[in-house]
Amino acid sequence: MARDALARLDAANPAINAVVDHRPAEVLADARAVDAAVAGGEDPGPLAGVPVTIKVNTDQAGFATTNGLRLQRELIAREDSPVVSNLRRAGAVVLGRTNTPAFSLRWFTRNGLHGHTRNPHDPRLTPGGSSGGAAASLAAGIGAIAHGTDIGGSVRYPAYACGVHGLRPTLGRVAAFNASGPERAIGAQLMAVSGPLARSIPDLRLALAALAARDPRDPWWVPAPLEGPPAARRAALCVRPEGLNTAPEVERALRAAALQLQEKGWTVVETPCPPLREPARLQAMLWLAESRRGSNAALAREAHPDASFVFARMEALCPVPGENGLTDALQARAGFLRQWSLFLDRYPVLILPVSAEPPFPDLLDVESEAAFDRVIEAQLCQIGLPLMGLPGLSVATAARPAPGQAAPAAGSPMGVQLVAGRYREDLLLAAAEVIAPLPIAPVEPVTI
């Protein structure tokens, strides 16, 4: 399996630049260790020999935790993060490390250290970000499971853009910690999570079970069961939350997903959902508070034009909070989470857009201030959700043919987002298995 995975990496990666660091000899040695465990009668784990990838913003012993930065090219991790440790304990073999934008901040993936990752479906489209390398590699058949991180859509949007599935777990479900860096500020602690991407829902389920194992290094980790109590098969559909200008293609995908659930006995009610715009504003404020206290100095030293433009535009859209702004945001968070918890108690699953638009043209966000504002508005459902720490699942549905082209493979992917209550990833996966029952076939990367 490892040799096949390495061969696929060699064949597909040059066109997309998704895996930016891998060591074949170590991969084969790890695979042989799994084989030896099996031969010795040991339990090799539920992911025995499964090739996985790790995002470059996460500690893997002996590798640089670059976060897409030239500044961190020599930041070599001394120990595995809980994410890597748990995957290894489950028997997975780490195939390589995947690309991210500088500072892991964007829905596009390009940086000054590792270069530009391309969408294997169409290089004119973004592969998403910040887990763009994870999603692109997976779509191209490199590995079976990819690790990603999500503070504002960084698992869910790349999955959408590359036509795979991506799960943002509940805060505290998956233990995470980077010993190579300082403690994260409170905004990131409350909103950033690690989660899996995969080409099938059963693979996501296996990956989540492995990632959710206990690790005492993460004080936010919660020993919640992976299966909750029975819930009514009732879903809410919200096509235009708070006036979002949802594109016709996206609306068609949402309604098709709702119909699939109805045909399998679910009740689906079209209704407004709780607020996302104010949570999105507070999320951005908490997010930027960290950068304004320290990362901006690193931003100046890194001097990558994409990152500089994106940070400047975000700061322009998010004024510095007053003396009590951060405290007020944390106080308001409880109220929003209460609203969402009550809503999701009535409707155990919510169907929302992943984005208001089909996958963006690549690098759209740095074309102009207006283009950046267009991107931010379309991503409302990505940004608002993390404030409450809720789980979200980006489910790939179908490709949208490009203008004048009939074959789905020639178009951009499409998908929907599912949301459930805290620690109810099981409900998301159950609904997703109805919407996307078949595995996704890898694509051959398209080049310009």
Q: Which residue type, as a one-letter code, is found at position 6?
A: L
Q: What is the pLDDT of residues 263-299, one digit of tens each?
A: 999 999 999 999 999 999 999 998 887 677 766 788 9
Measured in residues, the chain has a length of: 448
Q: What is the pLDDT of residues 34-47, one digit of tens each?
A: 999 999 999 999 99
Which position has the token pair 């500690």? 59
Whether the predicted pLDDT of 410 surpasses 50:
no
Among residues 130, 131, 137, 355, which one is catalytic? Answer: 130
In which band, very low, low, confident or very high, does the pLDDT at 409 lie, cut at 50, 70 and 90? very low
Whether the predicted pLDDT of 331 surpasses 70:
yes
Mean pLDDT for 240-251 is 98
Does the annotation count 130 as an active-site position? Answer: yes
Does the annotation count 264 as an active-site position? Answer: no
Among residues 55, 131, 291, 355, which one is catalytic? Answer: 55
Among residues 81, 104, 154, 394, which one is catalytic? Answer: 154
**CA 29/CA 26 separation, integer angstroms:** 5
pLDDT of residue 181: 95
Q: Are strands 93-98 and 19-21 parallel, antiparallel or unpaired?
A: antiparallel
Out of 1-15, 198-212, 264-278, 317-331, which region has the weakest mean confidence (pLDDT)?
317-331
Closest CA relative to residue 276, chosen from 378, 360, 374? 378
In which band, very low, low, confident or very high, does the pLDDT at 411 lie, cut at 50, 70 and 90? low
What is Dmax (Cα atoms) for the chain? 63
Q: What is the CA radius of gyration of the chain?
A: 20
Phi, psi of 319, rounded to the nearest 5 degrees: -60, 155
Whether the predicted pLDDT of 373 surpasses 90:
yes
In which band, very low, low, confident or very high, does the pLDDT at 401 lie, cut at 50, 70 and 90? very low
What is the DSSP secondary-structure string of 11-38? HHHHHH--EEE--HHHHHHHHHHHHHHH
Q: What is the pLDDT of residues 197-242, one digit of tens each?
A: 999 999 999 999 999 999 999 999 999 999 999 999 999 999 999 9
**CA 48/CA 37 separation, integer angstroms:** 10
pLDDT of residue 371: 98
Q: Are strands 415-419 and 349-352 parallel, antiparallel or unpaired?
A: antiparallel
Strand partners, 236: 269, 350
Which position has the token pair 């407004």? 272
In which band, very low, low, confident or very high, does the pLDDT at 406 lie, cut at 50, 70 and 90? very low
Out of 54-68, 109-123, 143-157, 306-320, which region has the weakest mean confidence (pLDDT)?
306-320
Return mean pLDDT, the chain.
Answer: 95
Q: What is the pLDDT of residues 53-88, one digit of tens each?
A: 999 999 999 999 999 999 999 999 999 999 999 999
pLDDT of residue 92: 98
**CA 204/CA 418 separation, integer angstroms:** 14
Long-range contacts of residues 338-343, Cβ cutoff 8 Å, at least 24 apart: 339/274, 339/275, 340/274, 340/388, 340/390, 340/421, 341/421, 341/422, 343/236, 343/273, 343/274
Yes or no: say if 55 and 100 are a contact pair by the CB < 8 Å rule: yes
**CA 317/CA 281 separation, integer angstroms:** 9
**CA 367/CA 424 separation, integer angstroms:** 39
Closest CA relative to residue 196, chosen from 444, 15, 428? 428
Whether the predicted pLDDT of 28 surpasses 50:
yes
Does the annotation count 55 as an active-site position? Answer: yes
CATH class as words, domain 2-435: alpha beta
Mean pLDDT for 173-188 is 94
In which band, very low, low, confident or very high, does the pLDDT at 399 lie, cut at 50, 70 and 90? low
Residue 204 to residues 8, 125, 137, 287, 426, Cα–Cα distance (Å): 21, 25, 16, 28, 11
Q: Is 440 helix (H, G, I), strand (E, B) or coil?
A: coil
Yes or no: say if 68 and 56 are a contact pair by the CB < 8 Å rule: yes
